[in-house]
């Protein structure tokens, strides 16, 4: 018999593993987001990872290029979903008895054959919230409010949620005398403004430019007058929402098509004021050019002030035409999506996650293997009391090694019952978290700090009757 070949353990490019510490933080993050969404009355939905390929086609050249497509065992053309919005549109079309507006949230993995970058993966979790079947712009304002509340709930203080309207860009074409047939090309160049600056944008709109790698990027061929009009638009000063809106109205005063966009933005601004959403966090930014292939009205995106390299971590908009592809008629809809893995990576870099590998709050050490059933009984009692508890099942026999394991797992409390405790009907409860903190302070503590250290050190462990174990542990956990 030939020897088994050793397979090198390695990850595919653009994918990542989440080990327990990261996974616990990720689950807490998802739970915090879910709490916000459910507070708004959104309801859960799940859909398959695979869709018929034709379902996912037709949403722009970029999305088409990024699809992971293959044939299933029945030799049907299928693909992994690249977002959660297209499957939502399919669901709304497929189930006519759904009550509208259908307000749903969904958290699930999606796949894109994209170039990996910081926080950008080929498999990643999206967390969406959408309202389908309402044309009221109050729904758009509510999505913006939920974006604000979600980032706050995650403990992020320095962020910006920016919004604009897809119709503003359409009006820009009229203002600049540019054919709407060139819309996508113009807007994709404008979307590069932060990356390549106004000179780079001007070059790409006209004769083209040479990028940093030396490659020639062809120009769009616009004339100087058209580019000057675009520059006027880009130069609209940033500021308070109503100031930006007033500047836009003045710039487009002779553009008939701009009236609807201005009125939509005015409605959203009024709603945000009514919802008491701060100008510091939610701003009107006319430069947003996202989702050109299906957004039809207001658009939104959020970024973190202290992690700009991660780009947009939360974005969305109004997409009144998406369901039409399945039904042949328009159904208004609006929503937003968090790139969970990108946001997680940004928060990880900023030190905003509490990383602990274990879900246990208590470890029951095993000092007398012959009394295993007693340890099992106590462990069971703690679990039935709602306390996450692990009984040590490793190979180490000494108390020191078992406590070392607990510390590495960041389990805050240890229950110790040796021969003396068994003889007296007692347990010792050791606060490993406090013990670690005091150990760090011991080296530098002097004077009053030293006295405080000595006082606290006496509380690191307590001995109580066995019958009071659960009560004492609950009491101690309340202080951690």
Find, among 467, 379, 367, 364, the residue nearest to 419 by Cα.
Answer: 367
Q: What percent of the chain has pLDDT over 90?
A: 76
Specify whether 301 is located in the same domain as 378. Answer: no
Residue where a domain stops, chosen among 349, 381, 407: 349
Mean pLDDT of 101-110: 97
β-pairing, 69-71 vs 77-80, is antiparallel
Answer yes or no: is 135 within a domain.
yes
Find, among 422, 423, 402, the residue nearest to 414 by Cα.
Answer: 402
Is pLDDT at 76 greater than 60 in this prediction? yes
Specify whether 132 is located in the same domain as 240. Answer: yes
For residue 54, the surrounding DSSP H or E stretch is helix 53-56
pLDDT of residue 442: 56
C-alpha 306/C-alpha 349 separation (Å) is 10
pLDDT of residue 230: 94
Q: Are 52 and 78 in contact (CB under 8 A)?
A: yes
Answer yes or no: is 5 within a domain.
no
pTM of the model: 0.87
Tokens for 418, please give them: 């040796």
pLDDT of residue 355: 86
Answer yes or no: is 6 within a domain.
no
Q: What is the mean pLDDT of the chain?
A: 91
Quickly list DSSP for 184-247.
HHHHHHHTTHHHHHHHHHHHHHTTEEE-TTS-EEE-----HHHHHHHHHHHTSPP-SHHHHHHH
Answer yes or no: is 83 within a domain.
yes
pLDDT confidence band for 267 (50 / 70 / 90): very high
DSSP 8-class letter at 375: H
DSSP 8-class letter at 458: T
Is pLDDT at 392 greater than 90 in this prediction? yes
Q: Which domain does 373 fall in, by range?
A: 362-477
Range in 69-83, 281-295, 400-414 with the lowest mean pLDDT: 281-295
Of 204 and 436, the one with more pLDDT:
204
Specify whether 57 is located in the same domain as 107. Answer: yes
Specify whether 341 is located in the same domain as 387. Answer: no
pLDDT of residue 183: 87
The 3 state secondary structure assigned to 250-302 is HHCCCCCCHHHHHHHHHHHHHHHHHCCCCCCCEEECCCCCCCCCCCCCEEEEE
Specify whether 322 is located in the same domain as 412. Answer: no
pLDDT of residue 441: 57
Answer yes or no: is 357 within a domain.
no
Tens digit of each residue's pLDDT (9 = 90 or more) over 25-66? 999 999 999 999 999 999 999 999 999 999 999 877 777 888
Is pLDDT at 453 greater than 60 in this prediction? no
Specify whether 377 is located in the same domain as 463. Answer: yes
Q: How many angstroms separate the Cα of 248 from the Cα of each of 198, 234, 290, 299?
A: 19, 10, 19, 16
Tens digit of each residue's pLDDT (9 = 90 or more) over 119-174? 678 999 999 999 999 999 999 999 999 999 999 999 999 999 999 999 999 999 99
pLDDT of residue 49: 97
C-alpha 112/C-alpha 63 separation (Å) is 8
Residue where a domain stops, chosen among 297, 322, 349: 349
Mean pLDDT of 72-94: 95
Tokens for 24, please give them: 């616990």
Find, among 322, 316, 323, 319, the residue nearest to 302 by Cα.
Answer: 316
CATH number at residue 381: 3.40.50.800
CATH number at residue 85: 3.30.930.10
Is pLDDT at 118 greater than 80 in this prediction? no
Of 343 and 446, the one with more pLDDT:
343
Answer yes or no: is 204 within a domain.
no
Strand, coil or helix: 373: helix
C-alpha 461/C-alpha 447 separation (Å) is 24
Specify whether 321 is located in the same domain as 375. Answer: no
C-alpha 26/C-alpha 28 separation (Å) is 5
pLDDT confidence band for 352 (50 / 70 / 90): very high
Specify whether 405 is located in the same domain as 333. Answer: no
Q: How many angstroms separate the Cα of 286 from the Cα of each of 147, 248, 434, 441, 454?
A: 18, 9, 51, 52, 60
Specify whether 172 is located in the same domain as 317. Answer: yes
pLDDT confidence band for 448 (50 / 70 / 90): low
Q: How many angstroms separate the Cα of 362 from the Cα of each of 359, 426, 436, 449?
A: 9, 17, 15, 29
The answer to whether the Cα torsion of 290, 291, 293, 294 is positive or negative is negative
Specify whether 425 is located in the same domain as 317. Answer: no
Is pLDDT at 292 greater than 90 in this prediction? no
pLDDT confidence band for 459 (50 / 70 / 90): confident
pLDDT of residue 245: 95
C-alpha 145/C-alpha 140 separation (Å) is 9
Answer yes or no: is 332 within a domain.
yes
Tokens for 140, please give them: 């758009």
Tokens for 449, please give them: 């700090």
For residue 159, the surrounding DSSP H or E stretch is strand 159-165
Answer yes or no: is 210 within a domain.
no
Specify whether 298 is located in the same domain as 151. Answer: yes
Specify whether 126 is located in the same domain as 229. Answer: yes
Domain count, the chain: 2
Residue where a domain stops, chosen among 349, 382, 411: 349
pLDDT of residue 2: 58
């Amino acid at each position: 018999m030939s020897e088994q070949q050793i397979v090198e353990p390695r990850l595919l490019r653009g994918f990542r593993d989440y080990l327990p510490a990261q996974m616990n933080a990720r689950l807490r993050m998802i739970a915090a987001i879910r709490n916000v969404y459910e507070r708004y009355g959104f309801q859960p939905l799940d859909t398959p990872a695979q869709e018929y390929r034709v379902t996912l086609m037709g949403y722009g050249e970029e999305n088409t290029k990024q699809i992971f497509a293959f044939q299933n065992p029945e030799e049907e053309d299928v693909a992994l979903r690249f977002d959660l919005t297209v499957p939502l549109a399919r669901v709304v079309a497929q189930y006519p008895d759904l009550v509208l507006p259908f307000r749903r949230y969904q958290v699930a993995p999606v796949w894109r054959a994209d170039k990996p970058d910081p926080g950008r993966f080929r498999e990643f979790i999206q967390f969406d919230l959408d309202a389908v079947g309402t044309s009221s712009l109050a729904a758009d304002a509510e999505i913006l409010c939920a974006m604000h509340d979600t980032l706050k709930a995650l403990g992020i203080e320095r962020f910006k949620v920016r919004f604009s309207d897809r119709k503003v860009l359409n009006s820009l074409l009229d203002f600049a005398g540019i054919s709407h047939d060139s819309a996508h090309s113009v807007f994709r160049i404008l979307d590069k403004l932060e990356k390549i600056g106004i000179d780079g944008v001007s070059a790409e709109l006209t004769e083209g430019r040479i990028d940093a790698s030396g490659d020639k990027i062809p120009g769009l061929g616009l004339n100087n007058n058209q580019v000057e009009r675009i520059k006027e638009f880009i130069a609209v000063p940033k500021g308070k929402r109503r100031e930006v809106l007033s500047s836009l109205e003045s710039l487009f005063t002779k553009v008939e098509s701009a009236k609807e966009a201005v009125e939509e933005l005015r409605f959203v601004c009024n709603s945000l004021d009514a919802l008491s959403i701060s100008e510091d966090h939610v701003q009107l930014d006319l430069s947003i050019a996202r989702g050109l292939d299906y957004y039809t009205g207001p658009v939104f995106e959020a970024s973190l002030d202290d992690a700009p390299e991660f780009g947009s971590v939360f974005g969305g908009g109004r997409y009144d035409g998406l369901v039409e592809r399945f039904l042949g008629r328009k159904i208004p809809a609006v929503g937003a999506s968090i790139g969970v893995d990108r946001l997680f990576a940004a928060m990880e870099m900023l030190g905003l996650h509490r990383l602990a590998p274990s879900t246990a709050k208590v470890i029951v050490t095993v000092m007398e293997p012959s009394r295993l059933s007693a340890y099992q009984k106590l462990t069971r009692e703690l679990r039935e009391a709602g306390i996450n508890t692990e009984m040590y099942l490793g190979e180490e026999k000494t108390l020191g090694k078992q406590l070392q394991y607990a510390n590495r797992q960041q389990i805050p409390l240890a229950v110790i019952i040796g021969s003396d405790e068994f003889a007296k009907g007692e347990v010792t409860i050791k606060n490993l978290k406090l013990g670690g903190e005091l150990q760090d302070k011991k080296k530098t503590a002097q004077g009053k700090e030293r006295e405080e250290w000595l006082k606290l050190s006496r509380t690191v462990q307590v001995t109580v009757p066995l019958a009071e174990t659960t009560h004492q542990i609950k009491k101690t956990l309340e202080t951690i």
